[in-house]
Chain A
């Protein structure tokens, strides 16, 4: 059984397009996160949600908008994609805030 799943696994798109990445967890966790991993493999948090409430909103462009329809889902919508948005985006979840985080398989985004 997949604990944290993301779709799609790969996303290739043109500059200026709008795209969404979906994340679902079946662990019963209350907190979910979005991370960006750059080409040097550095993981940096973008957003976190606890019980559908936004907790962290790091300095990311407002073209990125997270949406949590329920505790098990956290989606990431990106408007007007730019070349620099190319990266791997990971979703994660934890039982509660500041507890061990479990990661999804990642979505590889390539903006051409």
Chain B
């Protein structure tokens, strides 16, 4: 069965303290890995899609990378406004024809001034 595991469950950072969030996956064949940001009381907001090992995408202080077993979301010099829950999701060979996105349980990031 396809599985997505995110760690840590929660992360507290001081403003400017860089760190990484992990998303490890066990799937029948990766078709795409997605990162979303979710603020309290709001819907998930799309950040990145990664398709193949070695691929990297960047947006402001965020950089997503992908290997054959996991993806990292690197946050460089975070600011308090980066505080949110970050969700990882995958499409696999098994889920592709059914459009099913498999989500992890998220990492809750808090950045303190």
Known: A98-B91, A106-B41. 20 other contacts (CB 8 A): A4-B43, A33-B99, A41-B38, A41-B105, A41-B106, A42-B105, A43-B103, A45-B101, A48-B98, A55-B98, A56-B99, A56-B100, A58-B100, A90-B43, A92-B43, A97-B99, A98-B96, A98-B97, A101-B101, A103-B44
- If A90-B44, A103-B43, A103-B44 touch, whether A43 touches B99 (CB-CB below 8 Å) is no
Total A-B Cβ pairs within 8 A: 56
B side interface size, CB within 8 A: 25
Q: Is B45 an interface residue (CB 8 A)?
A: yes
Residues of A within 8 A of B (CB-CB), count: 26
| Cβ of A50 under 8 Å from chain B | yes
CB distance from A43 to the nearest CB of B (A): 4
A31 at the A/B interface (Cβ < 8 Å)?
yes
- Scan residues 30-83 of chain A and give those whose CB is less than 8 A from a CB of chain B: 31, 33, 40-45, 48, 50, 55-56, 58
A33: chain B residues within 8 A (beta carbon): 99
A positions within 8 Å CB-CB of B = 4, 31, 33, 40-45, 48, 50, 55-56, 58, 90, 92, 94, 97-98, 100-106
Question: Which residue from B32, B42, B91 sits with its C-beta under 8 Å from A106?
Answer: B42
User: Given A41-B105, A98-B31, A100-B34, A105 and B43 touching (CB < 8 A)?
Assistant: yes
Q: How far is the CA of A43 from the CA of B85 in the complex (A)?
A: 12
Q: Can you list 26 A-B pairs with a CB-CB distance of less than 8 A?
A: A31-B99, A33-B99, A41-B38, A41-B85, A42-B103, A42-B105, A43-B103, A45-B100, A48-B98, A48-B99, A50-B99, A56-B98, A56-B100, A58-B100, A90-B43, A97-B99, A98-B91, A98-B96, A98-B99, A100-B34, A100-B46, A103-B36, A103-B46, A105-B42, A105-B43, A106-B43
Whether B42 contacts A43 by the Cβ 8 Å rule is no
**Distance, CA A50 to CA B32, complexed state (A):** 19
Q: Give bound CA distance, A45 to B97, whole Å.
A: 14
Set of chain B residues within 8 Å of A103, measured between Cβ atoms: 36, 43-46
Task: Say yes or no: is B83 at the interface (Cβ < 8 Å to chain A).
Answer: no
